[in-house]
Amino acid sequence: MSIRLTVLSVMEEVAAEQQKKLAPLADGTVLANSGLDSLCFAIIVARLEDALGADPFTASEEVYFPVTLADFIALYENVSAA
């Protein structure tokens, strides 16, 4: 499964588990408007670290917080490519 599909799958899974109404996911979707809260994102990051073997938020000394879904996916694609 591609990184993009893994990220989308985990986001949908967590939204369902946490009973959150997930906004339609597109590259331009602003994460703050996705329907997910900070707990959901913490769970997503932990699960993606398990699934992909990397956490882009600790892999770099540079602090960057993604704004859109495309930004979020690119973080994982970039850390996996390194």
Give long-range contacts, CB 8 A cutoff, 24+ apart: 11-19.
Answer: 11/36, 11/44, 13/47, 14/40, 14/43, 14/44, 14/47, 15/40, 17/43, 18/43
- Any idea which residue has 């930004």 for tokens? 71
Residues 2-31 have a mean pLDDT of 97
Instruction: Please check the confidence at residue 64 and state whether its pLDDT lies above 90.
Output: no
Instruction: Please check the confidence at residue 21 and state whether its pLDDT lies above 70.
Output: yes
Q: How confident is the model at residue 82 (pLDDT cuts 50, 70, 90)?
A: low
Is the separation of the CB atoms in 41 and 63 below 8 Å?
no
pLDDT (0 to 100) of residue 79: 83
